[in-house]
Amino acid sequence: MLKQIHKVTASEFVSERHYSAVMPSLTKYFLGYFTDDEMVGVITFGWGTRPKHTIQKLFPELDTKDYYEIGKMCMDDAMPRNSESQMLSMAVKWLRENTDIKYLFTWADGIVGKPGYVYQAANFLYGGYSITDIYVTETGEKVHPRTLQGQLPNEEGLKYGHRPNFEQLRDLKLSRVKGKQFRYIYPMSKFDRRYLKNSTVTWGLNYPKDVDLEWTVKGPGETEYVKTKTMPFEMSKDIKYNKKNISKYKSESNLNQFFN
């Protein structure tokens, strides 16, 4: 069973189980996946940081109201391997019944070793990849550039407002990692597939696999990037830079704020 849940409940579940515990700020729907009255999964829908830009870069004739993006999809580790696919299938059905969107959009985080097999199993269309970058601490915390640049004070205690420089990367023992984000989309109906012909990218079923994963890494104090086919860091639950973002939803206790 899939039903709406409070954002605090969703955030707590995700922060305990997902490799990236930060909940996207533009999240509209928080859905819980239940078996025998126990919540074993969470999937959220909303938009990324630039909703209109995201969709019109792919479909110039569409707008923000025409799509949602999967923000988080998280399943309890004790569940069978196909549980995420079942939750995703139910979520697509829920969106068809409760929204008027034309497309469900998502990224698979190739930068953390995920080509998007769950989307491939659900017959999502693949639309190529983009190169993204993150910072990684020596303990394995993955930090988005925007998060990091907002927390680096200068000598007067003011915020720099830009990416860390060479000295900061060295002193904070931060590595900069570049990798792929794989683009997927799911038309909500056969009628909505007509927009595909005008897309700026080609959509199809030529899916990426593990062999397509690759990274370039620049370690603390280093001046050049090194290419590798092996993920250059291990994910960790150690949290330092992402504390504020993770605690954002947990600090809200008024249920009416969500269900209004």
Q: pLDDT digits over 156-187, tens only?
A: 555 556 677 888 788 888 899 999 999 999 99
Per-residue pLDDT tens over the stretch 55-80: 999 999 999 999 999 999 999 999 99
**Range picked from 17-21, 150-154, 170-174, 238-242 for highest mean pLDDT:** 170-174
The pLDDT assigned to 144 comes to 72
Higher pLDDT, 252 or 95: 95
Would the pLDDT of 101 be above 70? yes
Sequence-ordered list of residues with C-beta below 8 angstroms from that of 4, at least 6 positions apart, any chain? 29, 30, 31, 32, 259
Instruction: Return the pLDDT at 161.
Output: 62
Q: What is the pLDDT of residues 8-17, one digit of tens each?
A: 999 999 988 8
Instruction: State the pLDDT confidence band at 53, using cuts at 50, 70 and 90.
Output: very high
Tell me, what's the pLDDT at 15?
Answer: 84
* Domains, the chain: 2-129+180-209+237-259 (3.40.630.30)
Residues 217-230, mean pLDDT to the nearest whole number: 94
Write out pLDDT tens, residues 23-34: 888 999 999 999
**What percent of the chain is modeled with pLDDT above 90?**
65
179-197 tens-digit pLDDT:
999 999 999 999 999 999 9
Rounded mean pLDDT of the chain? 86
